[in-house]
């Protein structure tokens, strides 16, 4: 092994092997066509729209039982915790991240390490919800990753050596980056984490080759956006037009709305779709109004960062129902016409279908069994119809230090949290990893202090059922009907992938990678990886064989914030591996 001051470890023999057939440079065309090229995976979401649908069908319902482990790679050291990464694969090299902002290049044929990069993190990082990282972006000769101290790092794809490092935000104020960046038109697009610390959410674009800042767009109303020319900031309009329209006083200055899950990109409308997190603080009585652009989806122009449209799922959010969940573009036919739609399953328990050209509400419906904070959605606008008594009480109206406690369902960890759903172009269904839980929640007085938690709330999460919490659902976006469901004892916290082989893949905290029939929900395959699966599976072809990979390693927000739910998972072992499976050539069969 060789190493240097940047925390890089290079395996000399593997490096020589990698260089011998080396991963080629990733182009803009490669990224835009990722969903059509099953020989590689060069974008988070298996395509910029985030559908996580593979056109591969060699592996299917008739031969899934023959899927077998090819190799397993350990992330090593004592740095276990949650492994939420989605691997990328290019020309026989896998690029995958691990907890604590680590990056690995692995020979995808053998599982042998090529190089490892460890971000040198300061002691004062403040991630709210575990030290996770969800993946890298690839562009040209670079592997680009966000870090827990709110930096973007571009690494050389062959050596792992840093080519540029840029500070995105101040980690001492509570900022971090946990999401995978995306690359659009040669620009690296990133969001930020930190909504529990009263930060100001934003989306930023950097030149992928130089690391120079191109534009910045805040996601809290009242803050100025900028484009950068020759290194100088040029004003590009205040988000929302001006300050204080939907926020009282100066609350907008520390409004939260973190863009912590990253975004998707739709080529048809040339739009970035980012979700925004909770308004700060959680105590909604301190900030009457809709509190834009918190708990929303925003469409952003990738050229200059201008906001094209927005849709707010939870105005005046009082439950921490972040609106960050991915917005997935898809088309469907209605009355003989193609509808350019986009869908999202929100933490608040509602599934939304929007017109992705203008953000108009098409339809919405519950995708969980019970919602207590709202009676439904306005059929024309999609705004929630708040339920009387559903909001936690105002502490200033009560004697003592906290307001009236309410029982809210879903819990703040959401009907669906960060874990990405998938859309099948064959079945027309969305496959949604969801959870059934409730919470006792109450408000408390709070004031902003840089770098300190800015909640003004307390909570206890409880399972909604005795025998299961997690539910993998197949949802019809045109009717709102649940087509099938799989119930899991522990919460589901990993992503989903679906394929043209009529398969749906996901993982469970109990350690299993599982595959289901996409039409019926029948469980067809399971393999125990040794630790909870909270990563997102992918599939690709190499040397004429179909492969499946998934990161394994229990962690994330559930054991940290889960209250009584944490009792269900307290005995689960942490881990840190990426598992790779393949279907032998002699087992290929037709559906």
Task: Give the span between the Cα atoms of 158 and 298, in whole angstroms.
Answer: 36
User: What are φ and ψ of residue 361, in 5° steps?
Assistant: -75, 125
User: What are φ and ψ of residue 3, in 5° steps?
Assistant: -150, 170
Residues 404 and 354 sit within 8 Å (Cβ to Cβ) = no
The CB-side HSE value for 391 (13 A sphere, CA atoms) comes to 18
Facing residues of 144 across strands? 137, 154
Residues 119 and 125 sit within 8 Å (Cβ to Cβ) = no
Q: How far is CA 292 from the centre of its chain?
A: 21
Task: Give the span between the Cα atoms of 394 and 383, in whole angstroms.
Answer: 23
Could you tell me the two tokens for 98? 């691990």
Task: Give the span between the Cα atoms of 38 and 358, in whole angstroms.
Answer: 31
Q: What residues are annotated to the active site?
A: 320
For 525, the enclosing helix (H) or strand (E) is: strand 523-528
Task: Give the span between the Cα atoms of 410 and 349, in whole angstroms.
Answer: 6
Tell me the pairing of strands 545-552 and 350-355: unpaired
387 C-beta neighbours (distance < 10 Å), count: 15
Task: Give the span between the Cα atoms of 263 and 274, in whole angstroms.
Answer: 5
Q: Which residue has the tokens 């990678």?
A: 513
370 C-beta neighbours (distance < 10 Å), count: 12
Residues 261 and 201 sit within 8 Å (Cβ to Cβ) = no
Helix (H, G, I), strand (E, B) or coil at 485: strand
User: What are φ and ψ of residue 437, in 5° steps?
Assistant: -155, 160
Q: Which residue has the tokens 């080629």?
A: 24
Contact partners, residue 530, CB within 8 Å, separation at least 6: 511, 552, 573, 575, 577
Could you tell me the two tokens for 528? 């125990």
- Produce one character per residue of 155-190: b if its CB has 16 or more CB atoms within 10 Å, e if not: bbbbbbebbbebebbebebbbbbbbbbbbbebbbbb
Whose CA is closest to 290, among 244, 250, 327?
244
Helix (H, G, I), strand (E, B) or coil at 54: strand
Task: Give the span between the Cα atoms of 37 and 53, in whole angstroms.
Answer: 11
Based on C-alpha coordinates, what's the Rg of the chain?
22
Residues 538 and 180 sit within 8 Å (Cβ to Cβ) = no
Task: Give the span between the Cα atoms of 253 and 530, in whole angstroms.
Answer: 45
- Produce one character per residue of 105-124: b if its CB has 16 or more CB atoms within 10 Å, e if not: bbbbbebbbbbbbbbebeee
């Amino acid at each position: 092994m060789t190493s240097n001051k940047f925390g890089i470890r290079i395996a000399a023999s593997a490096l020589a092997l990698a260089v011998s057939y080396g991963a080629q440079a990733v182009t803009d065309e490669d990224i835009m066509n990722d969903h059509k090229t099953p020989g590689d995976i060069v974008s988070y979401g298996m395509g910029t729209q985030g559908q996580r649908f593979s056109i591969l069908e060699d592996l299917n319902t008739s031969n899934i039982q023959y899927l077998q482990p090819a190799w397993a790679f350990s992330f090593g050291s004592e740095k276990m915790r949650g492994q939420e990464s989605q691997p990328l694969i290019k020309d026989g090299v896998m690029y995958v991240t691990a907890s604590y902002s680590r990056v690995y290049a692995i020979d995808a044929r053998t599982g042998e390490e090529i190089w490892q990069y460890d971000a040198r993190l300061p002691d004062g990082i403040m991630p709210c919800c575990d030290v996770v990282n969800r993946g890298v972006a690839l562009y040209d000769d670079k592997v680009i990753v966000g870090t827990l101290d709110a930096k973007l790092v571009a690494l050389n794809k062959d050596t792992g050596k840093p080519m540029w490092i840029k500070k995105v935000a101040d980690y001492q104020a509570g900022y971090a980056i946990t999401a995978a960046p995306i690359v659009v038109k040669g620009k690296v697009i990133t969001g930020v984490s930190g909504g529990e610390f009263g930060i100001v959410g934003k989306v930023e674009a950097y030149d992928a080759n130089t690391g120079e800042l191109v534009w910045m767009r805040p996601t809290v109303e009242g803050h100025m956006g900028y484009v950068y020319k020759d290194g100088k900031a040029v004003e590009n309009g205040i988000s929302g037009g001006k300050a204080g329209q939907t926020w009282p006083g100066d609350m907008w200055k520390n409004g939260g709305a973190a863009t912590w899950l990253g975004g998707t990109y739709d080529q048809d409308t040339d739009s970035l779709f980012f979700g925004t997190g909770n308004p700060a603080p959680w105590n909604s009585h301190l900030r009457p109004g809709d509190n834009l652009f918190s708990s929303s989806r925003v469409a952003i122009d990738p050229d200059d960062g201008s906001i094209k449209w927005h849709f707010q799922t939870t105005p005046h959010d009082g439950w921490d129902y972040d609106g960050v969940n991915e917005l997935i573009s898809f088309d469907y036919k209605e009355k003989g016409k193609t509808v350019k739609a986009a869908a999202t399953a929100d933490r608040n328990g509602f599934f939304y279908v929007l017109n992705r050209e203008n953000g108009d509400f098409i339809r919405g419906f519950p995708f969980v069994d019970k919602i207590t904070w709202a009676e439904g959605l306005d059929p024309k606008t999609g705004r929630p119809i708040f339920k009387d008594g559903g909001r936690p009480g105002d502490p200033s109206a009560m004697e003592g230090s906290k307001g009236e406690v309410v029982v809210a369902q879903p819990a703040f960890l959401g009907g669906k949290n960060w874990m990405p759903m998938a859309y099948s172009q064959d079945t027309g269904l969305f496959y949604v990893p969801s959870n059934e839980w409730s919470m006792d929640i109450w408000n408390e007085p709070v004031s902003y202090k840089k770098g300190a938690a800015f909640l003004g709330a307390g909570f206890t999460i409880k399972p909604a059922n005795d025998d299961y919490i997690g539910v993998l659902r197949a949802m019809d976006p045109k009717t709102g009907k649940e087509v099938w469901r799989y119930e899991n004892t522990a919460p589901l916290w990993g992503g989903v992938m679906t394929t043209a082989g009529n398969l749906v893949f996901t993982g469970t905290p109990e350690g299993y990678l599982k595959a289901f029939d996409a039409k019926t929900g029948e469980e067809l395959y399971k393999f125990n990886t040794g630790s909870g699966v909270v990563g997102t599976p992918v599939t690709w072809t190499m040397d004429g064989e179909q492969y499946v990979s998934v990161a394994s390693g229990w962690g994330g927000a559930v054991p940290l914030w889960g209250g009584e739910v944490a009792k269900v998972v307290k005995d689960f072992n942490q881990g840190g591996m990426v598992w790779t499976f393949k279907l032998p050539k002699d087992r290929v069969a037709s559906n």
